[in-house]
Structure 1
């Protein structure tokens, strides 16, 4: 019996000595805060896809024809300064008769991708290429350098806005100061810019009798930075 009582007493003492440690883990006067800042960032890259498409009963002759057309376009595009030229997707598929039983032709499709920060130069080149090629797509984007610069500036603004709200919360609760318990910074936005284009109907025509220079503006994308976290207000 005495040994059992002795063990019970030691257990009770251990539990009692651990209670203050639990109490120290309890935090009071914590406030959740959220601050958001945004900015309209102009698109500074123009992306254009043009393509050639043809049909021929002889797949070898068809491939040669498409390659020749594409090579001439690449050579012409590379003469323009400040424009990045890359070959896009290329595919070949059979064309069947009305009963879908016999191959009567072959169709080949080949794309050329163009990108530049010089909208005027790329617009002019696009108009020239549309005399022999067709328009696939035109889009605008934000370059990595511009993205980083805008995000860095917004991060500072978001942190300043969070600090201002933290100070307001501290003063409202009658605190003498605060400490940040946790803080998260999140980026959102960068949707596809909505461009404004003149002469759009001419750009989308299958062919043009003379070079057409579209007048374009890249538009902007809204970038959002959110600072979200918890502070602990220190009471006097």
Structure 2
């Protein structure tokens, strides 16, 4: 076993050898930079959603509930007969109506919803028009299906990576670097619908009276793919 003085001498010799090496010899110097690249594409909506509702008021809550139920059942039965249309029930609620003093219940009011969805805009538009003889429209909107969104996101992925590489090279050149290496890269998607004009109340009233099938302009949404990453720039 080496004595303490012998170990101290060897340790001092090692430190001296390290100190004799040139500082930073052949060691590249790196600077880390966070970058983002973004690519996007306008994609047409391929799903149509319609919200219809039945609302009524009566002093007899049992009769009111029965009338609403019959209206809903008829709407659901009619919607199920249209190929390609998905139908589901939305919210349903009832609440009391009070007199002017707010002390006595004079009637009950109930509202129930039916939700319709389809990729066949013409069929759903006609079904909506037919159902509005007994129901009212609560809203209409359009969206991109999950399958379509994934398809376009996959196509944008290569573009996002290529855009990130181009930006990384540009940043390297701006700093006067001789190269870079990728530290990490994260890919994320996003998107938002473009503004669409909403149907005016006057138009809805006319639609309820005559029930024509509405011409559909579904609009588009912007699908975006972001490439966020960090690079290390090698300086000369």
Look up the SS of the partner of 1:209 in the other structure.
Answer: helix
Residues 137-169 of structure 1 deviation map (CA, whole Å, 9 limit, x = unaligned): 111111110111111111211101111223334
What TM-score do the two structures reach when normalised by structure 1? 0.82
- Select the residue among 101, 108, 111 that pairs with 1:109: 111
| Partner residue, 1:219 | 219
Deviation at 1:231, TM superposition (A): 1.9
CA separation of 1:207/1:162 partners in 2, compared to 1, >3 Å: closer, same or farther?
Answer: closer
| Pairwise CA RMSD | 3.3
- Flag the 1:31–1:79 CA change in 2: closer, same or farther, 3 A: same
Question: Which structure 1 segments of 5+ residues have no match?
Answer: none
Q: Which residue matches 1:92?
A: 94
1:151 aligns with 2:120: no
Is 2:219 the partner of 1:208? no
Whole-Å Cα distance in 2 between the matches of residues 90 and 7 of structure 1? 89
Distance 1:78 1:53, change over 3 A: same
Q: For the structure 1 residues 201 and 102, does the alpha-carbon distance in structure 2 shift closer, same or farther, using more than 3 Å as the test?
A: closer
1:68, 1:207 → 2: CA distance?
23
TM-score, scaled relative to structure 2: 0.82
The total of aligned residue pairs comes to 228
Query: Any residues of structure 2 matched to 1:1-236 within 5 Å, and which?
Result: 9=8, 28-171=30-173, 173=176, 175=178, 177-189=179-191, 191-195=192-196, 204-205=204-205, 208-234=208-234
Shift of 1:88: 0.7
Relative to 1, partners in 2 of residues 1:86 and 1:48: Cα closer, same or farther, differing over 3 Å? same
Instruction: Measure, in 2, the Cα distance between the counterparts of 1:128 and 1:157.
Output: 45
Q: Return the alpha-carbon distance in structure 2 between the equivalents of residues 129 and 7 of structure 1.
A: 99
CA-to-aligned-CA distance 1:191-234 (integer Å, 9 cap, x gap): 2443457x755652287333221112111111222212222244
| Structure 2: segments with no counterpart, 5+ residues | none
1:7/1:151 CA distance change after superposition, 3 Å = farther
Cα displacement (A) at 1:100: 0.8
Q: 2: CA distance between counterparts of 1:223 and 1:207?
A: 33
Change (3 A) 1:145 1:208: same
2:47 touches 2:144 (CA, 8 Å); kept in 1? yes
